[in-house]
Amino acid sequence: MPLEISFYDGEYYGDRPAPTHLCSIEGSVVPDDRPPFDTLEEALRLLEMCADKYSTPRPRDTCFSVFIGRKIGDTLKPLARLYVYARDGFASAGVVGLGPRWDTEPVLYSPDDDVVTIVLKVFAKLYDQR
């Protein structure tokens, strides 16, 4: 069952109109010689593969939203939501949906980084801390 990772410009508020869709990535990553990846690690691996092959838009504002879901047939089961804040060369994210809400540590990013590259930097810092 593939993951779908969707990027939106701005922060998502459930009762307001949806933010502008920037791009979506769909796929799955299965390790050969170990137990399955957890949701965020699978998303990290999928984004790494995408970053090597494709370019994605840069954020238009200081905040963008990332929705991670698992496709089951025609249905998308929401798994996690990230609110990524990128300003003045630092980016961090609030993570919702995998237990209690929590915030990542800030990471450095370049103004030329696209949304996938920024999220990869945030995830890389997260997995360095484990």
**Domain count for the chain:** 1
Contact 96, 71 (CB under 8 A): no
For helices 39-53 and 115-129, angle between their N-to-C axes, nearest 10 degrees:
140
Give residue 48's domain range. 3-129
Q: What is the band of 15 on the pLDDT scale with cuts at 50, 70, 90?
A: low
pLDDT digits (tens, 9 = 90+) for 60-81: 889 999 999 999 999 999 999 9
On the question of pLDDT at 19 being above 60, the answer is yes
Question: In this predicted model, which residue has the larger pLDDT, 14 or 84?
Answer: 84
pLDDT at 38: 87
On the question of pLDDT at 85 being above 90, the answer is yes
Q: What is the band of 83 on the pLDDT scale with cuts at 50, 70, 90?
A: very high
Q: Rounded to the nearest 5°, which phi and psi values hold at 5?
A: -115, 115
The pTM score is 0.89
pLDDT at 130: 47
Strand duo 90-96 + 102-103: pairing: antiparallel
Amino acid letter for position 19:
P
For tokens 């954020």, name the residue.
59
